[in-house]
Amino acid sequence: MQTEELLKTFTDLVTIDSPSFEEAGVAAYCEEALRNLGFTVCFDNSGKQTGSNTGNLLASLPGNAHGVVVLAAHMDSVAPCCGIESVINDGVITSAGDTVLGSDDKAGIAAILQGVKENLFMDRPRPSIVVVLTTAEEKNCQGAKYLDEALLRDVIKSCVAQSADPDCLDGGPVPCVVFDSDGAPGTIVTGAPYHYSFVARVAGKEAHAGVNPEQGVSALEIAAKALASLEWGRLSEFSTANIGMIHGGQAINVVANDCTVEGECRSVYEDRVKAQQIAITEAFETQAKALGGSVQVDWEIDYPGVFYQTDDPFLQLLKDAADAKGFPVTYLVSGGGSDANVFSTKGLKPVTVGVGMTNFHSVDEYITVEDLENAARYVKAILLTMAAQ
């Protein structure tokens, strides 16, 4: 492993400011790096929908052996992520302390770039490779949501048609590895939840709180009783629900005639998340009817769930690649979503894997040099394992 080269790529990437919707600098860096490796690079027009200053990056390189695989990561970071200064002490990479490090997900990008590069320079067998780097993942996966599926399909087909295995597409979803999870390389995410968000708009009737409160209908009371009638937090091992924001009322001496409640529910099981949706909606409607108000509950799916059995052939391939490098394999069901959830609707079969990011989304974020190296080694191993099938 060319550690110095890998570290330079990673530290270069984290010093490029890339808050969500401002990923153009990272996109330009990656475009140049991928073109230098022989990839054909293009961008979709998703920026028009997301508001990002660049589209999603799609790059392709025909293979000299069996198969095709999509390698994916995202280009944005959570705040505070501008002016990042990386520090390496005793094999641990951190920020200087007043920003995040950005290993979420620039460790994933660096691993892809270095792993592919070393595979190419060693002239090893490889499947056809398509790299997808998205924008605005940290904003409910908006880049992935607006990824141009027709363009993605064309890029994959064109790449495979020029490869040594032009008949490898069987009409099913294309294998995709998303390098965007905590856990050491060898961590394989077998499931991530369906995520639904809601806005409940409660209407009551205003009245003077001291003179004639009986003539009023408190929207806040309706909301409070609805919320109190439900369970929140962890509902079961793989299901949760949460209230994030409540707004309402005009003054302390006025019975509140309006209240807005925003929240979410998640589960890796679709029937359970839909049951929770029904329960939340019915709770608000029941209390509104009982107290003389009204309510409108609107739901939106932020992303669908993904769930695999560990004996799935693609997961077995990922395990074999980890075994080949001596990485302990850990299966993980995540409570959070990622681009993988959305990719499952774009003709891909996405599995998220660990790259070693730790304490991400905080100024205490770090990654070890060893995990960064192993993430790049894992990329190489996946390519070799797939090519050998």
Peptide bond into 105 cis (omega under 30): yes
Annotated catalytic, 137?
A: yes
384 Cβ neighbours under 8 A, 6+ residues apart: 119, 124, 125, 126, 321, 324
Among this protein's residues, is 76 annotated catalytic? yes
Q: Using DSSP, state whether 39 is helix, strand or coil.
A: coil
Rounded CA-CA distance 72/105 in Å is 10
Query: Could you say which of 23, 31, 44, 76 is catalytic?
Result: 76
Q: At what angle do helices 24-36 and 103-121 cross, to 10 degrees?
A: 10
CA angle 325, 330, 332 (to 5 degrees): 140
Q: Which of 31, 137, 138, 264 is catalytic?
A: 137
DSSP track, 81-114: -SS--EEEETTEEEE-SSS---HHHHHHHHHHHH
Query: CB under 8 Å to 150, separation ≥6 — which residues?
Result: none
Residue 216 is classified by DSSP as: -
- Provide the residue type at 133 as one letter: L
Which residues belong to the active site?
Answer: 76, 137
